[in-house]
């Protein structure tokens, strides 16, 4: 896997709490707004979907693409961020 961004490192370094959806690696302003419009306003709500999909990379990537139009890099960044967070905190 490629090196992780500063955003990724900051996200996985601590509990999620009430972080906004745009705190997730791979989710910027445009994708964040699209997710918010569909009810995914907090990072923990996206985590819930990640867990509903049983942490399956392909299913999560497809969901993210279909829900907010994330490209392959954005999908991978967000998946990696949530997976690492789960490995550390669940």
Residue 50 included in any domain? yes
Total domains in the fold of the chain = 1
Beta strands in the chain, from DSSP E residues, in sequence order:
none
CA 53 → CA 4, 10, 36, 48, 57, distances in Å? 23, 24, 19, 9, 9
Q: Which residue segment(s) compose the domain that 66 sits in?
A: 6-89
Residue 60: pLDDT band (50, 70, 90) is very high
Residue 1 included in any domain? no
Residue 44 included in any domain? yes
Q: Enter the pTM of the model.
A: 0.93
The reported pLDDT for the residue numbered 2 is: 52
CATH number of the domain within which 42 lies: 1.10.150.40
């Amino acid at each position: 896997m490629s090196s992780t961004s500063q955003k990724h490192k900051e996200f996985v370094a601590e509990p999620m709490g009430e972080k906004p959806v745009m705190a997730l690696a791979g989710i910027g302003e445009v994708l964040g707004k699209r997710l918010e419009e569909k009810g995914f306003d907090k990072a923990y709500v996206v985590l819930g979907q990640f867990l509903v999909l049983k942490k399956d990379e392909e299913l999560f990537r497809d969901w993210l693409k279909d829900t907010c139009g994330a490209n392959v890099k954005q999908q991978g960044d967000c998946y990696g961020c949530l997976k690492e967070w789960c490995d550390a905190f669940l």
